[in-house]
Amino acid sequence: MSFAIGALAPNFTLPDTYANATALRDVDSPVTAVVFTCNHCPYALAWHERLQAVARDYGPRGVRILQINSNDAERFPHDSLAAMSARVAAGEFASPYLHDATQEVAHAWGAAVTPDVFVLDTDGRLVYHGAPDADYRDESLAAAWLRDALDAALEHRQPDPAQTEPVGCSIKWRP
Amino acid sequence: MPPSVELLYWDGCPSHPAALAELRAALEEIGHPGAPVALSEISSEAQAAQLGFVGSPTIRIDGIDPLPPPPGEPTALTCRLYRRRDGRHSPTPDPADLRDALRRLLPPPTQES
């Protein structure tokens, strides 16, 4: 189970695909979205471009989007660090793609599926948890729930909805 | 003997109800309304390996996958990745691809008893 709306998000430091350590807490980022995603899940891939569009649109507004792959790459080679790096090199990501090799962050955050979206306010408290929008098949929805949550966090108000049901592939836990 | 239509699924992926509905719609569209669809749950990695199950959902017509996965795709308890005709990723087959594949694998409806 993930932490509650209003709770302080567990901190982390994870490497990106260039092995640069990236910390959750960043004084330059007033609002942060953390998205657990991966390389092989059809739901994550169906929503992928919408999420990158959010990163491109909200980056200039000071929002930081961190995308994390926590899947067990031993059993799911499509989710290896090499495969992550290849996607980044191909220009598929508009924000850092972090590797949670130990799965400690996914466990600490209670992430369950890919994609699983968390939005934090300027205090690092959870203001939204759920899916990017209501339907992975409908690109016109444009990750509306995530965008609404980011707008609300930027304006220091509570998003509505603050919680939706994440839809996607289960995170592939290590045995 | 009518061909066997089977939907293999893993309960950890939420796509199989939609896949079943789309399979039934495709069967109806090509003239096989009400054709029985056998549901087979895959619940272990060993079972997935034994049956060559590369993800949920997987459809088989007399044991043949109408939309075969890429060669070498590993077996796994996971959601299966399909591509729509417009290139989009999808957890279920493109309905038009499915319909066309079923037409190839199933006898014409007039031959049904």
Beta bridge partners of A114: A169
Distance CA A113, CA A71 (A): 10
Q: Does A137 sit within 8 Å of B74, measured CB to CB?
A: no
Q: Does B80 sit within 8 Å of A46, measured CB to CB?
A: no
**CA of B53, closest CA in chain A: separation in Å?**
14
**CA of A47, closest CA in chain B: separation in Å?**
9
**CA of B18, closest CA in chain A: separation in Å?**
12
- Residue B52 near chain A (CB below 8 Å): no
Distance CA A38, CA A173 (A): 13
pLDDT at site A148 = 98
Q: Mutation target for B interface from A40, A71, A174: give the one with most B CBs within 10 A.
A: A40
Whole-model pTM? 0.93
pLDDT at site A27 = 67
Helix (H) or strand (E) holding A134: none
**CA of A43, closest CA in chain B: separation in Å?**
6
Residue B1 has pLDDT above 80, yes or no: no
CA distances from residue A37 to A51, A96, B69, B106, B108 in whole angstroms, order as listed? 10, 12, 22, 38, 43
The partner residue sitting opposite B89, judged by closest CB among A46, A76, A77, is: A46
- Residue A73 near chain B (CB below 8 Å): no
Residue B110 has pLDDT above 90, yes or no: no
Cis bond before residue B95 (omega within 30° of 0): no
pLDDT of A144-159, one tens digit each? 999 999 999 999 999 9
Q: Does A40 sit within 8 Å of B13, measured CB to CB?
A: no
Q: For residue B109, name the pLDDT band (cuts at 50, 70, 90).
A: confident
pLDDT of A83-141, one tens digit each? 999 999 999 999 999 999 999 999 999 999 999 999 999 999 999 999 999 999 999 99
CA distances from residue B34 to B22, B23, B84 in whole angstroms, order as listed? 13, 11, 25
Complex prediction ipTM: 0.88
Q: Mutation target for B interface from A39, A43, A47: give the one with most B CBs within 10 A.
A: A43
- Residue B67 near chain A (CB below 8 Å): no
pLDDT of A27-43, one tens digit each? 666 899 999 999 999 99
Residues of B in contact with A42 (CB under 8 A): 15, 79-82, 89-91
Q: Does A45 sit within 8 Å of B89, measured CB to CB?
A: yes
pLDDT at site B48 = 97
